[in-house]
Amino acid sequence: MGPGLGGGVDSLAAYNDGVVAGGTFVLSDEKNMHYLAQWDGAAWVPLGGGLEGYAKAVIVYGGVLVAGGFFSWAGDVEATCVAQWDGTSWAPLGGGVGEVVWGFTVWNDGFGLA
């Protein structure tokens, strides 16, 4: 998939007809990726300004991409170790978490999306 991501990939998620990668990489083909990149079918492209620290986990839940890892900012939004991307902008997920997010899973409580 292109020239690669120039560092470790820790998580992949299918998102918006593409693939999002999160990891410890910062560049692809001399473009800044800032730990998150999306494959557009031809090349890796930055996703929403990326993160200021590494992304250990990405998942799609309810049509929203959620990134977790060790960071304080997603794009230009303060977000402690977990943030959500709606396709146009970043937002913190709740009050964040105080530790590194290593992975995600989805739990169905039977009540649908809250």
pLDDT per position in the chain (114 positions), as tens? 777 788 889 999 999 888 999 999 887 777 888 999 999 888 898 889 999 999 999 999 888 999 999 999 999 999 999 999 999 999 998 887 888 888 888 777 777 655
- Answer yes or no: are the C-beta atoms of 13 and 19 closer than 8 Å: yes
Answer positive or negative: Cα dihedral of 72, 32, 46, 29. Answer: negative
**CA–CA dist 39, 43 (Å, integer):** 6
pLDDT computed for residue 113 by the predictor: 59
User: Cβ neighbours of residue 99 under 8 Å, at least 6 residues apart?
Assistant: 81
